Amino acid sequence: MNRPILSALTASWFTLAGSSHGWSQAAVPQPPPTDAPPSIVGAAHYDGWYTFNGNLENQKYSQADQITPRNVAKLQKAWEVHTGDVSDGSGKIPLTDWSATPLFVNDTVYVSTPFYRIFAIAPDTGKVKWTYDTHSVLQAVTQPDLKTRGVAYWQAAAPQPGIPCQKIVYVGTMDAKLHAVDADTGKKCEGFADGGVLDVNRWNTTNNKWPLSLLQPPTVYKDTLFIGWAGKDWADAEAPPGTVFAVNAQTGKLKWTFNALPADIASKTGTSNVWASMSIDQEHGILYLPVSSPSPNFFGGNRKQEIPLATSVTALDAQTGKLLWSRQIVHHDIWDYDTNSPPVLVDIHKDGKTIPALVQSSKMGIFFVLNRLTGEPIYPIEERQVPQSDVPGEQSAPTQPYAAIPEPTVPDRFPGVSRLADIASLGECSRTLKQLRYDGRYTPPSLQGSVAYPSTAGGVEWGGGAVDPRSAVYVVNSSYVAQIYRLIERKDYAEQAKHGSKDEYYPQTGAPYGFYLRNFVNFLGMPCWNPPYGTLSAYDLNSGRLLWKKPFGEVQKWGFYMPESWGSVTIGAPLVTRSGLIFIGASMDARARAVDLKSGDVLWQAQLDAPAVANPATYIYKGTQYVVFVAGGNAILKPQASDQVAAFALK
Amino acid sequence: MSVSPKRRTGVDILVLAGAAALGISIFNYFRTDNGIHGSAGALLVIISSFLMVISAAALALAAAMNPALRGALVVLILLDILGTGLAAYMLEENWLVGAMAVALMGWVVRLVSNRTPGDARVRGAI
């Protein structure tokens, strides 16, 4: 589940990181998402940014190549917009976390705000064309903060001028309302669902202890919207089952649904929802779902039977919703290791063959490279024996899937106690570690307390990776966070929670155990484990080889930057351009960076108002390439929020 | 008391570098696009720069200062320079680092400069 990795982390150090070929015309022709040509995964020439991940294959790749490693140092701010939709949480409105990928399509930049408004922005000047207000409730209904990850876009195969809603922008809200808005005018599309608003919560009928939240924009393919949702994490053992809804893009009419939970146990567990985005193989009409873990997240005694689709990457027929194949990446998940990002689709060349592949990243920092048509591994996946739970009522899985190729970003062993943090806390770190259980990867939650490394904070977060489809070079940022997990018997939970921080205690109501979770930090908030805390890596998927791996970003506390070699925990993904550049925000230091794809060297950076925890976007408009960052911040990184959209271009 | 010109020059450099550091620190605290504005670290270097200016000015102006007090002040100024320099480095504020380098030069100039012959009261002072 999309548990905001904790406000508890806010107390810690990182509280918990036009000249392109053929494009000289005035306006960039937009790809028609409704009838996009059969994909040669990423080969189609396009340098807009029409989905959350740039394209439906989730490659975060652009053909734009005006900005190059040679000239990127000259990049300057072209325009910026401040939406006004920001809250530091000190008043009635909850804190805002803003992770909206700006879309560039229909000659317009579209972005939603954490107050659930849409801004339509001129791509070259930053002038606001129109805004649309959902008038959504601004309350932390399910999540602790107000958040959005952006909008989705659909257009008719042959849009007719003068007819409204031939091009539609969609935005979801915290209370599960999906609004459809005319992309040209900002007026509501009355023909969509009920007067332009689809209440997805109407379908929330099983274990509906809380409403659903539409924080991730739908995935749009042909005339269908694929809608997942986020919920209230770690609260209940029995929770709404993680249904994916496929609806008509123009009418909002339900086409089909998909449930990852077997019907016979849906009432006594829940979630296994899809809260991240999805990817599409357009040539084969396959929809890929990153399916999260079932509830409760840290105890599986109520769901001992196999739930094969939980914490998996699952392929469906996009037309019918029929299951094609699924591969579970964590068995009997009791770590909240949700599959949290859609797979990246790319063709790789191996042993003289071209293989239709996907790369599924994970919170564990492990990468599963599969044949995307069959789900079979391209690089070996072994079942490794893992530590077993000693918690009464629990029955942990004896083995877990492990892929050694490509090399996981997060090492298999805890990196040791930080001497600096240990000395500064007079030995608190080492004393605490001695009291905890740690047996390597997949050490289960325990009654005495366990070290989780990697933890639910990742590894790789919801942004996932990016790929250059020509070379199959895959780039991904990763975090390294140790947390302490402790189950608490129900009879003791209320008393302990009463005296503890609300950001550290989670009831798992309905389970025999509540849960305590915090970052493994000392009383000063310093991480008790050795750095790095965040890296950026590049892999050659054709060989599975790691090309380079470098600490990325900087930890910042009280304004002071820690050594670059430490890196930063990151949220938000990179993008890759044809010219061999990586653009990424994501880090705690609130900087946007351009990185050389070949070497991993940082070639350019700019200061933003808050951490750019959204995926960036790039596009060419009127002969100029722009790179856009949304700098909204996320309390997981540090308590700094903003309402800034900033576009950079060569001058 | 008379003070050697070099020693006076060293103190003047200290005052000027401290004043520059104070100005830079205040600018950094309020400038909103530098990543450190409003931070505790930015405030800290404002305070330390201010103390440096006051201390250096005291060295320059208080000719009849007790030698022990003067010595203590000189040591404290050195600690201030080093601490502010380290803080500036961690704030990634190169201009401030530069100002501290200049301040350190002033401090060294003052240290190595000859005292005026016969000035017994400064004997023992750094």
**What string of H, E and C letters represents the secondary structure of A378-402?**
CCCCEEEECCCCCCCCCCCCCEEEE
Q: What is the pLDDT of residues A301-343, one digit of tens each?
A: 999 999 999 999 999 999 999 999 999 999 999 999 999 999 9
What pTM does this model have? Answer: 0.91
Rounded to the nearest 10°, the torsion over CA A522, A527, A530, A533 is: 170
Radius of gyration of chain B (CA): 15
Query: Which candidate, A207, A220, A358, places its Cα nearest to that of A272?
Result: A207
Q: List CB contacts (< 8 A) between B42 and chain A.
A: 559
User: How does the average pLDDT of chain B come out, rounded?
Assistant: 87
Residue written as tokens 């005018």? A185
Category of A212 on φ-ψ map: left (φ > 0), alpha (ψ -120 to 50) or beta: beta
CB A307, CB A516: distance < 8 Å? no
Distance CA A273, CA A310 (A): 8
User: Left, alpha or beta for B43 (phi > 0: left; psi -120 to 50: alpha)?
Assistant: alpha
Q: How far is B34 from chain A (nearest CA, A)?
A: 6
The answer to whether A256 and A321 are in contact (CB under 8 A) is yes
Residue A72 has pLDDT above 80, yes or no: yes
Structure-block tokens of residue A513: 């155990």
Indicate the residue of A558, A562, A607 with minimum beta-carbon distance to B34: A607
Across the interface, whether the CB atoms of A561 and B42 are under 8 A apart is answered no
Q: Report pLDDT digits (tens) over A422-436.
A: 999 999 999 999 999
Residue with tokens 């550049």: A581
CA distance A591 to chain B (A): 8
Asked whether residue A21 carries a pLDDT value surpassing 70, the answer given is no
Chain B (49-108) residues lying within 8 Å, Cβ to Cβ, of chain A: 87, 90-92
CB of B39 within 8 Å of a chain A CB? The answer is yes
| Residue A596 CB neighbour total at 10 angstroms | 17
Determine the average pLDDT of the residues in A63-88: 97
Question: Nearest to residue A519, comparing CAs of A645, A606, A432, A409?
Answer: A432
Cβ-defined contact of B39 to A559 (cutoff 8 Å): yes
* Lowest model confidence (mean pLDDT) among A41-55, A106-120, A412-426, A548-562: A41-55
Rounded CA separation A245/B107 (Å) = 71
Using one digit for the tens of pLDDT, what is the confidence trace for A560-606?
Answer: 999 999 999 999 999 999 999 999 999 999 999 999 999 999 999 99
- pLDDT value for A17: 33
Chain-centre distance of CA A530, in angstroms? Answer: 25
User: Is residue B125 scored above 80 in pLDDT?
Assistant: no
> Is A607 in Cβ contact with B92 (below 8 Å)?
no
B31 touches chain A (CB under 8 A): no
